[in-house]
Amino acid sequence: MIEKQVKMLKKSDPHFKSELNILLNKGDDSKLNMFKTVFDIINNIRKYGDQALLEMVKKLDGIESDKVEDLRVSKSKLKLAYNNLQKDQQQALNFAAKRISSFHKKQTPKKLQLFG
């Protein structure tokens, strides 16, 4: 397994903004390659549908299936996996979920205009 060093940034640190900018701009060339790869995958799936998705799952995850429905993970398996995590891992997932939810609530338009 590849181990990576994790650097924690705290907003209260005096050099927070400059360190965050360094991280965000690191590897711009590889980011462009990644975006192109993702774009190509999405276009391929749009063009060829479920078959393209199943091929990508096989290629990237090593999972062979004839139907997309077979890829769905049941709620009971998800719950079992969550319950088998260490407490700090559960807390990290809960924290991330709250932050993601909070972020997207702020993106929800206050007024929706319907046309038609």
Q: Are 93 and 82 within 8 A, CB to CB?
A: yes
Give me the residue spans of the domains in the chain: 19-72, 73-107
Residue 90: band (very low, low, confident or very high) from pLDDT cuts 50, 70, 90: very high
Task: Please state, for a pLDDT cut of 70, what percent of the chain lies above it.
Answer: 91
pLDDT digits (tens, 9 = 90+) for 22-75: 888 777 777 788 889 999 999 999 999 999 999 999 999 999 999 999 999 999
**Looking at the chain, how many residues does it have?**
116
* pTM summary value: 0.51
pLDDT digits (tens, 9 = 90+) for 38-48: 999 999 999 99
Could you give phi then psi for residue 88, rounded to 5 degrees? -65, -30
